[in-house]
Amino acid sequence: MEIVAFGVQADERPILEQAFAGRHQVRCLDVFLDRDTAPIAHGYEVVSTSVNDDLSAEVLQTLAAGGTKMVAQRSTGFNNIDLEAAADLAMTIGRVSAYSPYAVAEFAWLLALAVNRRLVPAANRTRNFDFRLDGLMGRDLHGRTAGVLGTGKIGTAFARIAHGFGMQLLGWDLVENPQCAALGMRYVPRERLFAEADLISLHVPLTEDTRHLVDAAALAAMKDDAILVNSSRGGLIDSAALVETLKARRLTGVGLDVYEEEAGLFFYDKSLDVVGDDTLARLMTFANVLVTSHQAYFTEEAVGQIIRTTVANVEDHLAGRTSAHLLVTRGQLPAAVR
Catalytic residues: 233, 262
Instruction: Provide the CB-side half-sphere exposure for 18 (13 A, CA).
Output: 8
What is the DSSP-derived secondary structure letter of residue 1? -
Which SS3 state, helix, strand or coil, does residue 102 take?
helix
Instruction: Provide the CB-side half-sphere exposure for 144 (13 A, CA).
Output: 17
Concatenate the DSSP letters of all residues of 118-176 into one string. Answer: THHHHHHHHHTT----TT------TTSEEEEE--SHHHHHHHHHHHHTT-EEEEE-SS-
Give which of 105, 117, 156, 143 is closest to 299, Cα–Cα: 105
CA dist 60 and 226 (Å) reads 42
Give which of 43, 46, 1, 38 is closest to 22, Cα–Cα: 1
- CA–CA distances in Å: residue 208 to residues 27, 236, 279, 327: 34, 10, 22, 18
CA dist 109 and 319 (Å) reads 41
Task: Give the number of other Cβ atoms within 10 Å of residue 240's Cβ.
Answer: 16
Contact yes or no for 141/167 (Cβ under 8 A): yes
CA dist 221 and 217 (Å) reads 6
- CA–CA distances in Å: residue 248 to residues 142, 227, 241, 254: 27, 15, 11, 14
